[in-house]
Amino acid sequence: MSTTTKPVKTTARPARSLAILALVLIALTGLVFVQSATAVRLGLDLRGGTSVTLQPRIAPGENGKVTNEAIDQAVSIIRQRVNSLGVAESEVTAQGSGTNRQIVISVPGDTGRRVVELVGQTAELRFRQVLATATSTGAADPAATPATGVSAEVNAKFAALDCTKAENLQGSGADAPTDTIVSCDRAGLNKYILAPAEVLGRQVSKASAAIDTQGGNAWYVSLTFNGEGTSAFGALTSRVTSLTAPLNQVAIVLDGLVVSAPRITEAIPSGNAQITGSFTQLEAQDLANVLKYGALPLAFDRGEVQQVSPTLGADQLNAGLLAGGLGLGLVLLYSLLYYRGLGLVTVGSLAVAGSLVYLLFLLLGKWIGFTLTLAGIAGAIVAIGVTADSFIIYFERIRDEIREGRSLRTAVETGWSRARRTILVADFVSIIAAVLLYFFAVGGVRGFAFTLGLTTLIDLIVVFVFTKPIVTILSKVNFFASGHPLSGLSAKSTGTLPVAGEA
């Protein structure tokens, strides 16, 4: 073990770093008020709300790719739809990387179901001519009259289709526009064979919900096509008017399910159409919004839906704060009992670390939309222990140096040069863990990883610019330097031998 110790200059340095730290704290506090970021943004699990995670999927039969562009486009479309709900602080973000990206939608408050339904619709709107129709009785129905001009395969599918089964009413948006398809209506009452699509959702330029005051106050959605859509819809309607039923019906298909299939009695060259289908007001408005903002470029699986009531949110917040308070109290108590006077340094360091974390939570909420979740609180609480561990490593190191027979002043410096390395390596391992967790995970896990990483960084800062300088200053105070029994550095508590002859 090397016993040569470089004389370490300590003059003015500790005071300077403490001054810098104080300035940083004041500056951050100032920023908090300037930016009026005076409340930590709480996650939905702490204040109630709905979050939906969507997993992009390639629709069967399509060769599309889940590209970043498609995800970004989907995010902006979903954002518009969610904003149409008019709930403040709603958020739609893409998380993860590459083909592994998910879209996470969070809406505070109790709009639960509407959010889930609204964001999940791919909104693939198509107009298709009806080739055959039958009421769906439940059992497979071989008596259904085979439609002419349709392949036997499609006819067989049509006969086998059971619209009373829930899985056939999910709606998937998986219908390729160029295929002849079989489909159910949304109520599960009728089934259809439908010709390839002639007008597509993207040819709709405007959509709005309206109420038909004459026809029994029914809500419907009114559509306006763009130029391309107007001519396609005009051609379709003029072609089918002269045909016999059911060939004169045009089905309005949304996400693979028939919304309505009106009989066309005259050609519609004006570029306007209505979708009726016994909608409630909300349904009509949501459908209009969905159509207006366009179809999602991808199909999505609903990965996870979480609805937290404000009551549970408040309970979880209180529990998190209580656990934090309790944990902090125990750590402080233990370090005071064990390290006596040095324990006060722990108290001070944790207070500084705590203020830094709190101020950064406030500011990051403003700057990058950081929200504190329950998992995040847990991460911060776990960090109390990790942070306190750094102090212990340093204190024990100082005591080791004293056991080697060094004076407190020297021990503080040589102990630091050794403890510093250990702390750096150990904290770096924690940071690796936090970074990997952040990139490999979604949702709550990311919140945890973020706070863990942030608090570990703050731990490093505090140890370097607060704990060490404070200990340096204290080592010159007689109470510690003389090894007072309550200082935590007495010969008795370090177990130093009365006559230390080590060179």
Partner 1 sequence: MSKISGLGGRLYRGETSIEIIGRRRRWYAVSAVFVLLSIAALSLQGLHLGIEFKGGSSFTVTKAGASVEDARTALTSAGIPGESIIQTIGNDKIRVQTGALDTAQNNAVQDALAAKFSVPVESIDTQIVGPSWGKEITRKALYGLFGFLICVMLYLAMAFEPKMAVAAIAAVIHDVFITVGIYALVGFDVTPATVIGFLTILGYSLYDTVVVFDKIRENTRTITASSKSTYSQATNLAVNQTLVRSMNTSLIALLPVGSILFVGAGLLGAGTLKDLSLALFIGLAVGTYSSIFIAPPVLAQLREKEPAMQALAKRVNGRTAPAGTATPVPSVAGDRRGPRNQPKRKHRK
Residues 236-255 close enough to bind partner 1 by CB under 8 A = none
- Closer by beta carbon to partner 1, 139 or else 503: 503
Which residue in 304, 348, 363, 409 binds partner 1 (CB under 8 A)?
Answer: 304
165 touching partner 1, by CB under 8 A = no
Which residue in 422, 457, 460, 461 binds partner 1 (CB under 8 A)?
Answer: 422
Secondary structure (DSSP) of 56-96? EEPPTT------HHHHHHHHHHHHHHHHTTT-TT-EEEEES
Which residue in 305, 344, 457, 460 binds partner 1 (CB under 8 A)?
Answer: 305
State which H helix or E strand residue 172 sits in.
none
- Cβ neighbourhood burial of 433 (10 Å; 0-12, 13-18, 19+): middle
Q: Answer for the pair 121, 290: CB distance below 8 angstroms, yes or no.
A: yes
Please state, in angstroms and rounded to a whole number, the distance separating the CA atoms of residues 161 and 141: 8
For residue 275, give Cα distances in angstroms to 215, 226, 251, 313, 424: 14, 17, 10, 40, 65
Which residue in 146, 303, 348, 483 binds partner 1 (CB under 8 A)?
Answer: 303
CB of 311 to partner 1, least distance (A): 6
Secondary structure (DSSP) of 442-475? -THHHHHHHHHHHHHHHHHHHIIIIIHHHHHHHT
Binding segment for partner 1 (CB under 8 A), chosen from 126-134, 276-284, 414-422, 475-483, is 414-422
Question: Which 368-407 residues touch partner 1, going by CB under 8 A?
Answer: 374-375, 378, 381-382, 384-386, 388-389, 392-393, 396, 399-400, 403
Please state, in angstroms and rounded to a whole number, the distance separating the CA atoms of residues 247 and 175: 20
- Interface characters, 65-104, with partner 1 (x: CB under 8 A): ----------------------------------------
Which residue in 16, 302, 367, 369 binds partner 1 (CB under 8 A)?
Answer: 302
Please state, in angstroms and rounded to a whole number, the distance separating the CA atoms of residues 194 and 180: 6
Q: Which phi-psi region, left, alpha or beta, contains residue 217 (left: φ > 0; alpha: ψ -120 to 50)?
A: left
- Interface characters, 268-297, with partner 1 (x: CB under 8 A): ------------------------------
Instruction: Please name which of 168, 105, 153, 472 lies closest in space to residue 304, comparing C-alpha atoms.
Output: 105
Which residue in 156, 351, 441, 481 binds partner 1 (CB under 8 A)?
Answer: 441
Size of the site for partner 1 (CB under 8 A): 89
Question: Which 178-237 residues touch partner 1, going by CB under 8 A?
Answer: none
301 touching partner 1, by CB under 8 A = yes
Q: Which amino acid is present at 213?
A: T
Question: Which 311-340 residues touch partner 1, going by CB under 8 A?
Answer: 311-312, 315-316, 319-320, 322-324, 326-328, 330-331, 334-335, 337-338
425 touching partner 1, by CB under 8 A = yes
